[in-house]
Amino acid sequence: MSLAAAPQTRDMRARATALIARKRLIGLALPALILAYCAYVFFAFDILGLAQRARWDNAVTLVSDTYSYKTVVERNNRSGVFEVAVEGERKGTYDETNMPGWVVLAEDSAHITLDNGGSIDINGDLVRFDVPGYGVIEATQSRSAGVTTNLDPEALPDWVSLSKTRLMVSTDAARLTLTKARTEVFVYDFGWELFFFTLESPYYDHSFGEILFGDRIDPARSNLTGAWQDFWNNAIWRHGDTAWALFETVLMAFLGTFGAAIVALPLAFLAARNFAPLKVVRMAARRLFDFLRGVDGLIWTILLSRAFGPGPMTGALAMLFTDTGSFGKLFSEALENVDGKQIEGIASTGAKPLQRYRFGVIPQIVPVLLSQVLYFLESNTRSATIIGAITGGGIGLLLTQAMITQKDWEEVSYYIILVVLLVMAMDSFSGWLRRKLIKGE
């Protein structure tokens, strides 16, 4: 191996150098390609311009709305009637019996005390806003003259917006708007308002301790049942309906995912190279999967609504259609990776074809199968969000509506938290099931 092999070794050296050089090229080309692409997208999407145009104050408005609520004190300037309501909602309207402490209503006047030491007085058409560190803003409106104030229109602070018809003063503690039609004060508070009980409920403003251990609050019901009923039927947060919506979401995901798995498994054999020898069959099966996948669940929902109308079954079927496409692809890939030795071992005992699949193939693909199905179950729980918007059910409907109507971001965050918790629960459940079934306890 010494002298005679020398030329051969030299040849090997050259080949190895070339090999490494080629790998180096590929190894460098891929990141370079990705970088180049990112650069292209950077300019195509105009990231720089976008960064300048970004409006972070909007984000702050939205985000702060997720953890705070506002109570609206409104005077209808035509009728002179006052209304105090949480988020300005009918269902959150205070009456004389439970008026919050910071607002004092009298005949055609209201006095509002703010947390930061300021105060707002509404006296008929006159409003006085005492802003700590700035002074008192006085404004009045009339049908003929519009809005008039004591402010110098030339030197308005940037948190005041004034026109002939409208005054808006936005401070951290409260926002005041004054127009011909109404005088409104929005007072911000931390938390989710009326989350447990609405104002009508006798349990409103009672602590948990009082409800659990205290005297009977509502003579008609025991504290626990009463509190539960009022919580569950809370007219603003609708915990009961939300729970049902969550269930409907899981139901759609469950039916869709497992239905798809049952349909896709036999079809996947037709698309796997090692089980369907006929190329035509294989191509047909794969194109079928592509087709099913190519149409988003959302569109399947619309298509299927014609036959089945809106409702959770339509949503489940839509998921079944798309997921059959995804599962078909994933399962057939798993089938292409099966180890032929096991099948041969079973075949050599004289097993019938079905038995060969049952014992030679299925045990091998069960882990892939199970983990994919569980993963899709979880991810469909999330997709059911959007499908629910069309089928008219599920947490998705609540979520999309809360977002689209932009009413209350705290509701949006409530639903998101629920979805996140649900997904996490499904995740731990699927982990448990996988350990149980695949790893054999």
Partner 1 sequence: MADTTAASLDATRANYVALTRQRRLYGGIMLLVFVLLMASGFGIANDRNAGGFLPGLPQMFDFPAEVIAEAWTKRANLPGHIAKALPALIETLNIAAIATISGALGAILLSMLATQGLAPWPRLIPVFRRIMDLMRAIPEIVIALVLIFVLGGGPVPAAIAIGFHTVGALGKLFSEVNENADLKPLEGLSSVGATWGQRMMLGLVPQVAPNWFSYALLRFEINIRASAILGFVGAGGIGYELKNAISWGQGKFDEAAAVFILLFLTIVVFDQMSSYIRNHLTYGSVKGARK
Partner 2 sequence: MLEVKGLTKRFGANIAVDKMSFTVDRPLMIGIIGRSGAGKSTFLRMMNRLTDASEGALNFEGRNVLGLSGKEKRDWQSTCAMIFQQFNLVPRMDVVSNVLHGTLGRRSTLATMFNLYPEEDIHKAIDILDRLGIADHAPKRAEALSGGQQQRVAIARALMQDPKVILADEPIASLDPMNAQTVMEALRRIHDEDGRMVIANLHTLDTARRYCDRIIGMRDGRMVFDGTPAQLTTGVARDIYGAGADFSEAATSTEIRDHEALEQAEMRAAEVVI
Partner 3 sequence: EDIKEFNIGILGGENAQDRLNAYQCLGDYTKEALGVEVKMFAPADYNGVMQGLLGGTIDMAWLGASSYAGVYIQDPEAVEPVLIKINLDGSYGYHSIGFARKDSGITSLDDMEGKVFGFGDPNSTSGYLIPSIEIPTYKDGVTMEPGDYFADVKFTGGHEQTIIAVNNGDIDGGVTWADGQGAWEDGYNNGALRKAVDAGLVDMNDLVEIWRSKPIPEGPIVLRKALPDDVKAIMTKLVDELHETDPECAYGVAAGDSLGFDPITHAAYESIVAARLAKAN
Q: Which residues bind partner 2 (CB under 8 A)?
A: 1, 5, 8-9, 12-13, 15-17, 19-20, 23-24, 27-28, 341-342, 344-352, 354-355, 358-360, 363-364, 366, 440
Binding range to partner 1, per CB under 8 A, among 7-15, 56-64, 138-146, 345-353: 56-64
Report angle CA 290, 291, 292 to the nearest 5 degrees: 95
Chain contacts with partner 3 (rule: CB under 8 A): 53, 55, 58, 61, 65, 88, 161-163, 165-166, 168, 170, 175, 177, 179-182, 186, 238, 241-242, 245, 301-303, 305-311, 314, 388-393, 397-398, 400-402, 404-407, 411
Strands (E) in 343-414, as ranges, are: none
The answer to whether residue 291 forms part of the interface with partner 1 (CB under 8 A) is yes
Which position among 294, 355, 358, 432 is part of the footprint of partner 1 (CB under 8 A)? 294
Residue (61 or 222) nearer to partner 3, CB: 61
The answer to whether residue 307 forms part of the interface with partner 1 (CB under 8 A) is yes
Sequence-distant (6+) residues with CB within 8 A of 89 are 236
Residue type, 392: G
What is the C-alpha R_g of the chain?
A: 33
231 Cα distance to chain centroid: 23
User: Quick one: tokens of 57?
Assistant: 């104050």
Per the CB < 8 A criterion, the answer to whether 217 and 209 are in contact is no
Interface mask (CB under 8 A) for partner 1, residues 3-42, using x and -?
Answer: -------------------------------x--xx--x-
Sequence-distant (6+) residues with CB within 8 A of 335 are 268, 269, 272, 274, 275, 361, 365
- Please state, in angstroms and rounded to a whole number, the distance separating the CA atoms of residues 272 and 336: 6
Residue 405 touches which of partner 3, partner 1, partner 2, none (Cβ within 5-8 Å per kind): partner 3
Interface mask (CB under 8 A) for partner 1, residues 406-425, using x and -?
Answer: ------x---x--xx-xxx-
User: Quick one: tokens of 310?
Assistant: 């809106």
In whole angstroms, the minimum distance from the beta carbon of 427 to partner 1 comes to 6
Residue (17 or 142) nearer to partner 2, CB: 17
- Please state, in angstroms and rounded to a whole number, the distance separating the CA atoms of residues 44 and 58: 25
User: Quick one: tokens of 63?
Assistant: 């985000």
In whole angstroms, the minimum distance from the beta carbon of 168 to partner 1 comes to 19
The answer to whether residue 88 forms part of the interface with partner 1 (CB under 8 A) is no
Sequence-distant (6+) residues with CB within 8 A of 174 are 112, 114, 118, 120, 185, 186, 187, 188
The answer to whether residue 400 forms part of the interface with partner 1 (CB under 8 A) is yes
Residue (199 or 264) nearer to partner 3, CB: 199
Residue 41 touches which of partner 2, partner 1, partner 3, none (Cβ within 5-8 Å per kind): partner 1
The answer to whether residue 364 forms part of the interface with partner 1 (CB under 8 A) is no
Local structure of 236: helix, strand or coil: coil
In whole angstroms, the minimum distance from the beta carbon of 297 to partner 2 comes to 33
In whole angstroms, the minimum distance from the beta carbon of 177 to partner 1 comes to 21
Number of residues lying near partner 1 (CB under 8 A): 73
Residue type, 158: D
Q: How far is CA 384 from CA 218, 231, 326, 375, in A?
A: 40, 26, 16, 14
